[in-house]
């Protein structure tokens, strides 16, 4: 015990001051805005503000659309991550670069791009409108698509990393025993990388929950239909600062609680 404490003390003593100071400043830089939000929160009127019309509607819509967007990302993103990790094909680097574009693309630009494709006069939207009478922009479905567009890279990167780090001998053993590619994928590969999938899904959900730019561009800001929590915060910020703070506090609390719970259960085990 004493030896362990001494070892930890020696390790702490060896931390270079050149790393410790910027690390501390970085922590303060990240935490201080959250502290400011908590300090300015109108705690005395918080219960009344939480029951105001529109708050629960925006929160419910945000959770629903973020969950649906995450489900869409899982269905489309896991096979894409598997292709990138396990299959060599021409242009794989280009495909990987294109997948990560939404990470650096301004969300508003992403919303404009979605409008040009899924809008009523878009590449796909005009066909959907003329053939099936389906109009996507400024609907709840548009919110899901916008959130999935900006959040899917987080899932793909996490799952591809898990697939690359997984031991392929289990898949080879399953193939040797006569299992087909699909059976190997569903019964061996997916359980093997489950922690990575869970981590990617958590990051994907959190990103979708906080999506703003692409959503307001592609889906608009209609209460009860497309107005998620970030959009409600933006609207409240122009008229009622305390309402914007309360909404921000709710969004912060939901994100931190869910991320903390899921991280302890899945991410740390990866």
Q: What ranges do the domains of the chain cover?
A: 57-268
CATH homologous superfamily of 57-268: MetI-like (1.10.3720.10)
Of the ranges 9-18, 20-29, 71-80, 83-92, which one carries the lowest mean pLDDT score?
9-18
> pLDDT tier at 270 (50, 70, 90 boundaries)?
very low
Q: What is the mean pLDDT of the chain?
A: 85
Distance of CA 188 to the CA centre of its chain: 26
Residue 265 has pLDDT above 60, yes or no: no
Task: Looking at mean pLDDT, say which of 67-71, 120-124, 226-230 comes out highest.
Answer: 67-71
Q: Is the pTM of this model over 0.85?
A: no
Residue 69 and residue 149: Cα distance in Å, rounded?
9
Q: What is the pLDDT of residues 131-171, one digit of tens each?
A: 988 999 999 999 999 999 999 999 999 999 999 988 888 88
Which pLDDT belongs to residue 94? Answer: 93
């Amino acid at each position: 015990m004493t030896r362990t404490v001494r070892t930890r003390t020696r390790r702490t003593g060896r931390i270079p001051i050149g790393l410790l100071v910027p690390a501390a400043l970085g922590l303060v830089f990240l935490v201080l805005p959250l502290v400011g939000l908590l300090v300015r929160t109108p705690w005395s009127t918080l219960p009344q503000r939480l029951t105001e019309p529109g708050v629960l509607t925006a929160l419910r819509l945000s959770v629903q659309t973020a969950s649906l967007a995450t489900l869409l990302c899982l269905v489309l993103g896991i096979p894409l991550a598997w292709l990138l990790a396990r299959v060599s094909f021409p242009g794989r680097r280009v495909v990987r670069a294109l997948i990560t574009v939404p990470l650096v693309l301004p969300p508003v630009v992403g919303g404009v791009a979605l409008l040009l494709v899924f809008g009523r006069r878009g590449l796909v939207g005009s066909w959907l409108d003329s053939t099936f009478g389906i109009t996507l922009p400024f609907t709840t479905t548009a919110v899901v698509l916008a959130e999935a567009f900006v959040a899917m890279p987080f899932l793909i990167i996490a799952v591809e990393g898990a697939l690359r780090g997984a031991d392929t001998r289990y898949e080879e053993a399953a193939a040797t025993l006569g299992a087909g590619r699909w059976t190997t994928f569903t019964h061996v590969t997916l359980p093997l990388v489950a922690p990575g999938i869970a981590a990617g899904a958590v990051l994907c959900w959190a990103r979708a929950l906080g999506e703003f730019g692409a959503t307001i561009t592609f889906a608009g800001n209609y209460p009860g239909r497309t107005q998620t929590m970030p959009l409600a915060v933006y609207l409240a910020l122009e008229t009622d600062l305390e309402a914007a703070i309360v909404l921000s506090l709710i969004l912060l609390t939901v994100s931190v609680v869910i991320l903390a719970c899921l991280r302890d259960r899945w991410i740390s085990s990866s």
